[in-house]
Amino acid sequence: MAYSFPEEVLEHVFSFLSSDRDRNAVSLVCKSWYDIERWCRRRIFVGNCYAVSPEIVIRRFPELRAVEMKGKPHFADFNLVPEGWGAYAYPWIAAMEEAYPFLEEIKLKRMVVTDESLELISKSYKSFKVLVLTSCEGFTTDGLASIAANCRHLRELDLRESEVEDLSGHWLSHFPDSCTSLVSLNMSCLGSEVSFCALERLVARSPNLRTLRLNRAVPLERLANLIRRAPQLVELGTGAYSAEIRSDTFSNLADAFSACKQLKALSGFWDVVPSYLPAMYSVCSGITSLNLSYAAIPSSDLVKLISQCQNLQRLWVLDYIEDSGLDALAASCKDLQELRVFPSDPFGAEPNVSLTEQGLVSVSEGCPKLESVLYFCRQMSNAALIAIAKNRPNFIRFRLCIIDPQAPDYLTLEPLDAGFGAIVEKCKELRRLSMTGLLTDRVFKYIGSHAKKLEMLSIAFAGDSDLGLHHVLSGCDSLRKLEIRDCPFGDKALLANAAKLETMRSLWMSSCSVSFGACKLLAQKMPRLNVEVIDERGPPDSRPEGCSVERAYVYRTVASRQRLDMPDFVWTHDEDSSLRYS
Amino acid sequence: MENSTVEKEYIGDEELELGLGLSLGNASGEKGAAAYGNGGRILTAKDFPNGFACGTKRERAQKSASSSDPAALRQVVGWPPIRSYRMNSLLSQAKASNVAGEDDESSKKKMNHGGHLGFVKVNMDGLPIGRKLDLNAHKTYQTLAKALEEMFFSPSPHSRGGKEQTVKLLDGSSEFVLTYEDKEGDWMLVGDVPWGMFLNTVKRLRIMRTSEANGLAPKSQERNEKQKSKLI
């Protein structure tokens, strides 16, 4: 059949397949389909940069235009991965320079990107269009200057939540006058002031600009002029939202906002002066996404704003909103899909605001489309969790963080097993779960039995024994990422479920009870798993074999298990002498 | 739970590292050690024939129910799970709203209470890879210096500085001094200003060779006055 169907036709058919899963499935049909597909694949997503090597990717997919990649494991966000561990972008950038002269897009998450890499990107690709660096680090504003100066067709420059060494705001002035292609600019993570003139001119000459996220250093007085030059904006991130209360500043701002008929998303709002919030009222009815997670203002002001946004789908907010504010949210925003509530004073001994489990219960009751939640609070009860599960069986993501990580049900002092059990039992589509509170092996039994669609699970300070881990590994059929810290899980469960680990992207275990001996055994048993022992106390074999390792990071890979950029506090299986870790 | 003497030897040094947060062995303090003892036996369901109830766990649970101990919480690395850019932003907003009442007792309390949330980078001359340190885990220059001394000069087998003797970073007696970059981009000697003021202004730390730190040598009063006028 394959020989009677010209390649071009198959290629054309394949061009309608955008999902990686579909394309991967297609490549498995037969050898010629594999070959045709690999030549016409244009986008690739690598979930773990160490699961594969640049050489392997380049060899298989010679004509890529877009590369998306993730580096460090998620817990790196909370400083659990020591600096210097890895995830360097440079080897990839350097390898791709030769292989993909027509590369247009690079999206990286949790990787170390240097100015050198950025310069290389800016000079290597004639049609480079999109650079998205999420939670990356290792570069300075000099690297940004190279991108601005050399990428003549740049459409997107998005630095979300990256840690950039901010040498000066001068980088923005490197965009040449001829650059008119910008569609998205996100500089919200930067500290320095950029030249406001340069910024205004850049915005003015970018008719396709849809997303503009300013940094805190852009004062409110400048915002009106910027918005006025871009009434077509769909997503706006303000700078500091404070100024002396002046009616001309206010009316200027209000006028500018009223011209923005397409605005759907708002963010920024550092240092909010509540009197200026009404300047935005004209756009509120169209707003679907609101990020107020930096706005330290009282509940009443938050509620006044939110109740104008009846079409709100996503809300990120600080716990200043309190239970009363969440009640109001539940009453006015019936389209709400995602809610994130962050703590304003996480280390305070006493709660500074009146935000409890009740707020979450209200929202789960009042918002029928709610499917994704991240909620920080100080107390929780099984009753509340059970109610939430009953109200909202359509949860896809449920992440609960109780500030005291082993807090029991505050009403009964029992573990929160039953509550989370209800969540996994009722929410059959649950894909992501993070739990806190006093939890025993029982909750893991529930998870193993019910959470069949669960893909990512985060556990901290929970469980009693290996049985807990065993329930999860043996029961959760769709599990891809498992991250665990400070739990009494160890060797038995790990070794008993070794094969399962190859079906997952990765497993992270820190401050658990995994021994070096077990890590060695696992690596020997499973040649396609890289078992990294990350331990800053020195060579693991200088301690007794039963001693727990500080961290174990296990991931499947088709690349070498001895990555060349391993720092001296990481040990993996030595291929040459199979019984010895080098 | 058995705790052999061999294991005790290895646990010994780690107990000191509560404030460092980088060596996780017993980062959760007594909670961690009690439940699953670093390097001890792996607990299994057999250890709990009567179900989950384990003495220590219940004690911990009751302790948690009565009051969460913020000091202990701060010693735990990465808890609560909030990204450092978010924490740093919370802090600087708290400061901004406190500017008017800087001398006020309650706002001072609030400042110290909030502290400098988040980690600062620490680099040492001669070492290419820096470290991160949670300043919030410290209340005095002494504990900060001790933590850094242990981090960079610890006589463990995996010593980074390769030095055996204990190094004192604050008294000017060693080859290295502790310096910091402040919000204005100037490099200062650590220890000259009150701790709270230091927290408000420090951006990152550097362990510098004494020979290179000449320009930073404190000229006591003159410098303190210069500092005060800078910070007001």
Quick: pLDDT tens for B74-98: 668 899 999 988 988 887 776 655 5
Is B142 near chain A, with CB under 8 Å?
no
**Mean pLDDT of the region A291-300:** 94
> Is 60 exceeded by the pLDDT of residue B35?
no
Per-residue model confidence (pLDDT) at position A475: 97
Q: Where residue B151 falls among pLDDT bands split at 50, 70, 90? A: confident
Per residue in A173-199, pLDDT (tens digit) is 999 999 999 999 999 999 999 999 999
**Interchain contact, B24 vs A347, CB within 8 Å:** no
- Min Cα distance A545 → chain B (Å) is 9
Token representation of residue B186: 């100037």
Strand order in the sheet with B187-189: B131-134, B119-124, B202-209, B176-182, B187-189
Q: For A511, which of B24, B156, B158 is closest by C-beta distance?
A: B24
Sequence-ordered list of residues with C-beta below 8 angstroms from that of B2, at least 6 positions apart, any chain: B40, B41
**Distance between CA atoms of residues A83 and A67, nearest Å:** 25
Q: Which residues of A552-570 are buried (b: 16+ CB within 10 A; e: fewer)?
A: bbbbbbebebebeebeebb
Residue A185 CA from chain centroid, whole number: 18
Taking CB atoms and an 8 Å cutoff, what residues of chain A touch B21?
A: 79
Kindly determine whether residue A548 and residue B86, on different chains, have CB atoms separated by under 8 Å: no
List the one residue out of A188, A364, A113, A197 whose CA is nearest residue B85. A188
Q: Which residues of A touch B40 (CB under 8 A)?
A: 513, 546
- Closest partner residue to A410 (CB to CB) among B45, B65, B157 is B65
For the full predicted model, state whether its pTM sits above 0.95: no
Give the tokens for residue B4: 């052999």
Q: Does B48 touch chain A (CB under 8 A)?
A: yes
Can you give the pLDDT at residue B88?
82
Q: What ipTM did this prediction achieve?
A: 0.90
Chain B residues touching A550 at Cβ < 8 A:
23-25
Return d(Cα A103, Cα A111) in angstroms, integer.
19
Residue type, A195: S
Mean model confidence pLDDT for chain A: 95
Coil, helix or strand at residue A319: helix
Q: Minimal Cα distance from A547: which residue of B?
A: B39
Residues on chain B touching A534 (C-beta within 8 angstroms): none
How far is Cα A186 from Cα A250, in angstroms, rounded to an integer? 25
Q: Is B205 on the interface with A (CB under 8 A)?
A: no
The DSSP symbol for A88 reads B
- A-chain residue closest to B54, CA distance: A464
* Candidate from A349, A406, A546 with C-beta closest to B61: A406
Q: Mark yes or no for CB contact A79/B14 under 8 Å.
A: no
> Which 3 state secondary structure label does DSSP give A370?
coil
More confident residue, A102 or B181: A102
Cα A109 to Cα A87: distance, rounded to the nearest angstrom: 10
| Phi, psi dihedral angles at A85 (to 5 degrees) | -60, -40
Phi, psi of A530 (to 5 degrees): -95, 120
Contacts of A470 in chain B (CB under 8 A): none
Residues 69-108 of B with CB under 8 A from A: 70, 73-74, 76-87, 89-90, 93-94, 96-97
How far is the CA of A278 from the CAs of A232, A320, B89, in angstroms? Answer: 21, 19, 24
